[in-house]
A and B are shown apart, each in its own frame.
Chain A
Amino acid sequence: MENAVRKTLDLNRRPMPKQAVEVRIHNFDEVALGYTAEMAMEEANRCIQCKKPGCVEKCPVEIDIPGFIKAIAEGDFQRGVQILKSKNSLPSVCGRVCPQEEQCEGGCALLKKAGQIAIGRLERFLGDWEAAQSERMMPEIAPSTGKKVAIVGGGPAGLTVAGDLVKLGHEVVIFEALHKIGGVLVYGIPEFRLPKRIVEHEVEYLRSLGVKMVADYVVGKTRAVDSLLEEYDAVFVGTGAGLPWFSEMPGNNLNGVYSANEYLTRFNLMKGYRFPLVPTPVKEHIRVAVIGGGNVAMDCARTALRMGAETTVLYRRSREEMPARLEEIENAEEEGVHFRYLTLPTRCIGDEYGWVKALECIRMELGEPDASGRRSPIPIKGSEFILPFDAVIHAIGNSPNPLIPQTTSGLEIGKRGNIVADPATGKTSKPRVWAGGDVVTGAATVILAMGAGRKAARSIHEYLMNPSDW
């Protein structure tokens, strides 16, 4: 399925203008420039308006996709925005970072015929169009219910819950550990893929609806969930997957070895790419290795490249199995990121000052498919080799952050340290506590976190309206 999508990508689709490669590798401005109104209408006109749309079926938040596309085709962008935002409060974000090829666009009837509709780009177009209007359409806010909800974590899940509940008349407060609201949208995804002004715009919108936001507040440390429950009628936990993994090998504590979280936070949230104009210290590296093959690995590699380093992605399987979005892989390739497939790092080698200077790797071959359905990589004995690098970034995943699980009584925790929650409602084992997003599923996507947030919001609302019914 996924391969079928990849082979037909862009066929007959209206391409989206991008910054030229030779320009964009020297800046952090957004790579993809977005459709103009004409381009959007042209692309929207290709939609055949299926009676049983496969795109909607594959959308985690069930957006009426043919509906908003029709509105674009007719030039009624305002109506398009309305349709879109009735299901997705962050269209500018999702249009940019959703894996559409696996979701909506993967269900498009045109997939094998003329090239699937560029649903993501159209979604982004509407989101950006709305943001550019001088006045924003304000949704109806239900009269106050007098109920209070605390949301732990200001990422995609928490923002979705907040938006949904505030419209239903509940008082909503978001508590965020970092100094900016947005979670992975602000600390993780780089400026060149998701400009921070877009996230800020969406956050401002929620504020204007009445959502209260408290940054610099670590629930689990500053205050426990148990204590929040004394003041709030319900608590939603959306703290994400914030505990980085390092691949098991010696030398990981050498200087120059980073987790993707550290690397991206330093450059994004803390604006390190502007050092020394901003004081966040960052290193100038010459040869950077990124371990991993997901979107985060692509983000790290493309950041390192823009900082002037010769950058190589090391992935233990082949290009076919890389979990990153094809669009991101292609962008990285175009920009000159090197890829070494079937390569597993086995050791960081340091210099006499404690800095990494090389990686020892081993070549792999693909064996039988594993539990994930992908062919599992097997090391080839005696094929070790050494590559020189002065920085190594681990982008191989994260576990759920343990702060809340450790400090909350009566919360059932899964094997991987995740909070156990009902996938349909987000209810945890602890009364009046809901959870959703990466803290439940382990590292996944923005849209899945938003989908979980939507379900939890529905369940929280039901409970608040009828509290006897837990």
Chain B
Amino acid sequence: MFTILENRMLVPNLHMMRVMAPDVAQGVLPGQFAIFRPEEDGERIPLTVADWDMAEGSITVVYMNVGRSTAKLATLQKGDVVPTVVGPLGNPMEIGQFGTVMCVGGCYGIGSIYPIARALKEAGNTVITVIEGRSSFLLYWQEKLKTVSDRLLYMTRDGTQGKKGHIGSLPEIVRTLPMRVDRVILNGCNYMMMRGAQETLPLKIKTIVTLNTIMIDGTGMCGVCRVTVDSETRFACVHGPHFDGHKVNWAELTQRRKAYLPEEVIPLRSTRPL
């Protein structure tokens, strides 16, 4: 079934899992996700596919240990089985010849931006990859990202690597570049993507974001992932998850994402082992 080949912490609280899912690996395209169900009778959570190996039949995801389901996922070890890995779901990221594309990743988005950068590079774009975090020890996959980027830049809140700043400093990075940026792609938490999109709006750079919503089936059946984009209700699972960041109703998205915040950790308040 969905046997784990590798599951380890990359940097504090961020984990990567390589799991056998040949059917997903066979057809996945950059920007698509899979739904994971870490345990029987548990939640189904969407995770963007950050890499895959068609020959091996495996996919790789990067996830943050933040609630009961991801905590459970993090306890699984090589040889264990994930009850559900289903996909690839959602639309792939639009890959075209845009010119210069800035791929910005933060948190788990550093992982998920990788296949997007790779595809854009292969399509002939100039790829500037920017990864950001609170501190240098929270950044990962630098070597991987270097191979698919024309330039790899860093941004840390404490200035321990690259530019001192956060996603709000994106315009300063854009201004230091010798060329015009034709498109920005933001992958990270919703706050990071919202702030990034706010910054690129006055710069008039088309900005694509990959939304994180709550999902159940991932096929359009439940509608819990609905978001308002350009004043219209869309389902992130089947219409997205990639949208124009300048048109997303971020306040609503942020509220909806928080709907189960307490309940996601209540089951952790137990002495039972995960």
On A, residues with C-beta under 8 Å from B are 177-179, 215-218, 221-223, 242-244, 246, 252-256, 258-259, 261-262, 265-266, 270-271, 274-276, 278-283, 353-355, 401-403
Contacts and interface: CB of A to CB of B under 8 A. Distances in A.
A258 to B, nearest CB: 7
A222 B23 contact: yes
Given A265-B222, A276-B270, A279-B39, 6 more contacts: A217-B86, A253-B233, A270-B42, A281-B43, A354-B251, A355-B255
A215 B44 CA distance: 14
B267 A279 contact: yes
Given A253-B233, A354-B256, A262 B222 contact: yes
B162 interface: no
Contact of B220 (A256, A274, A279, A402): A402
A262 B216 contact: yes
A423 B93 CA distance: 39
Contact of A279 (B68, B217, B223): B68
B98 interface: no
B83 A403 contact: no
B242 to A, nearest CB: 16
A133 B271 CA distance: 41
A177 B233 contact: no
Contact of A259 (B83, B86, B222, B252): B222
A253 B226 contact: yes
Interface string B231-253: 00100001000000000000110
A254 B253 CA distance: 10
Interface stretch (B9-17, B58-66, B164-172, B257-265): B257-265
B220 A222 contact: no
B219 interface: yes
A259 B42 CA distance: 20
27 contacts: A177-B219, A179-B83, A216-B86, A217-B23, A218-B87, A218-B218, A221-B87, A221-B88, A221-B219, A253-B228, A253-B233, A255-B256, A258-B224, A259-B222, A261-B223, A262-B216, A262-B223, A270-B44, A275-B266, A276-B267, A278-B42, A279-B42, A279-B43, A280-B41, A281-B266, A355-B255, A401-B220
Contacts, number: 127
A178 B84 CA distance: 9
A406 to B, nearest CB: 9
Contacts of A353: 255
Contact of B233 (A178, A252, A271, A283): A252
A16 B258 CA distance: 45
A123 to B, nearest CB: 29
B121 to A, nearest CB: 26
A218 B219 contact: yes
A222 B88 contact: yes
Contacts of A216: 2, 84-86
Contacts of B270: 276
Contacts of A271: 41
Contacts of B195: none
Nearest to A258: B224
Interface centre among A259, A280, A401, A403 (most CB of B within 10 A): A280
B40 to A, nearest CB: 8
B221 interface: yes
Contacts of B68: 279, 281
A242 B222 CA distance: 8
Contacts of B89: 218, 221
Interface residues of B, number: 47
B24 interface: yes
Interface centre among B88, B222, B238, B252 (most CB of A within 10 A): B222
A403 B37 contact: no
Contacts of B69: 279
B206 interface: no
Contact of A274 (B41, B72, B263): B41
Contacts of A278: 41-42
B124 interface: no
Interface string B70-93: 001000000000011111110000
B96 interface: no
B57 interface: no
Contacts of A256: 259
A403 B238 contact: yes
A190 to B, nearest CB: 15
A279 to B, nearest CB: 4
Given A217-B86, A262-B222, A402 B238 contact: yes
Contacts of B86: 177, 179, 216-218, 222
Nearest to B23: A222
Given A179-B37, A216-B84, A255-B256, A401 B221 contact: yes
B13 to A, nearest CB: 19
A403 B220 contact: yes
Contacts of B238: 402-403
Contacts of B219: 177, 218, 221, 242, 401, 403
B72 A242 contact: no
B26 to A, nearest CB: 8
Contacts of B42: 270, 278-280
Q: Which 5 A-B pairs have the closest CB atoms?
A: A354-B255, A281-B263, A262-B222, A242-B221, A216-B86
Contacts of A275: 263, 266-267
Nearest to A221: B89
Contacts of B264: 281
Contacts of A282: 263
Contacts of B88: 221-222
Interface centre among B39, B84, B221, B222 (most CB of A within 10 A): B221
Interface centre among A216, A253, A262 (most CB of B within 10 A): A216
B240 to A, nearest CB: 14
A401 B270 CA distance: 39
Contacts of A259: 222-224
A261 B270 CA distance: 30
A412 B267 CA distance: 47
A223 B222 contact: no
Contacts of B255: 254-255, 353-355
